[in-house]
Amino acid sequence: MAKPLVHKSARRYWAEALGTFWLVFAGVATILFNPTTGNLGIALAFGLTVLTGVYALGRISGGHFNPAVTIGAVAGGRLPADQAALYILSQLVGGILGALALYAIASGKAGFAPGGFGSTGFGSHSQGNYSMISALAVEVIATFFFVLIILGVTARRAIPGLAPLAIGLALTLVHLAIIPVSGSSVNPARSTATAVVALIGGTNWPVMELWLYWLAPIVGGVLAGWAYREIFADE
């Protein structure tokens, strides 16, 4: 048998990069190519990317595709801390490459202008003109419950085989609930990827507001990991 090109220990990072690529590419494509799809369509698109990605790659890496999930898994005692940096780096690389691929395709249309490139934002860049404080609060709360659900449905005593479905539905629900407030990120890699491409296209506000989409999901993820470990875990 031929020797694999990728060492077994590195497969989890490749899986995280590919899964995040898929999440950003397909999710943001729904925003860019289907401008009339509405919030329901966007929510379903992001939920389906996670559902399919976790089913395909979750057995290799756990199917995080999100730095907040990785940090929550560390806080919850479900991932060794020394693996977190490479997980997050892989997610960022995969997400940015997914956004760049989408940018290259979208640029093939005459008159295409990237603008915010589907970026998340608050204040005047929020769909409902919600304040920075509102966006910060909703991202913390939504990430907390999203990560808590992930930790719960992937526990040893959970129903096997249904975790990806629950995770995909949870992300769909999160997006339905909070898109008008913050654009619904709950994922620093997703927000970073679109902010980078928007900056390439000459729009800098997504990068200026990116701090919130790192701070809030990380806080929510850490709180979820703590809650799972200290309150709910019994294994």
One pLDDT digit (tens) per residue for the chain, 235 residues: 556 666 777 999 999 999 999 999 999 999 999 988 999 999 999 999 999 999 999 999 999 999 999 999 999 999 999 999 999 999 999 999 999 999 999 999 988 889 999 999 999 999 999 999 999 999 999 999 999 999 999 988 888 789 999 999 999 999 999 999 999 999 999 999 999 999 999 999 999 999 999 999 999 999 999 999 998 876 6
List Cβ<8 Å contacts ≥24 apart for 47-52.
Answer: 47/168, 47/169, 47/170, 47/171, 47/172, 47/173, 47/175, 48/168, 48/172, 49/22, 49/23, 50/23, 50/164, 50/167, 50/168, 50/171, 51/164, 51/165, 51/167, 51/168, 51/169, 52/22, 52/164, 52/168
> Rounded to an integer, what distance in angstroms lies between the CA atom of residue 149 and that of residue 217?
14
For the chain, the residue count is 235
Closest residue by Cα to residue 143 from 192, 182, 180, 185: 185
For the stretch 116-125, pLDDT in tens is 999 999 999 9
pLDDT of residue 217: 98
Q: What is the pLDDT of residue 35?
A: 85
Side-chain-side CA neighbours of residue 74 (13 Å): 19
Question: Of 113, 96, 116, which is closest to residue 205 (Cα–Cα)?
Answer: 116
pLDDT at site 159? 82
Q: Where are the domains of the chain?
A: 11-106+114-229
Residue with tokens 């009339």: 36
pTM, entire model: 0.94
pLDDT for the residue 135: 98
DSSP state of 111: T
Considering the four listed CATH numbers 2.40.10.500, 1.20.1080.10, 3.40.50.2300, 2.40.420.20, the one that applies to the domain covering 11-106+114-229 is 1.20.1080.10
**From CA 10, how far away is CA 223, in angstroms rounded?**
29
Q: Looking at residue 232, what DSSP letter applies?
A: I
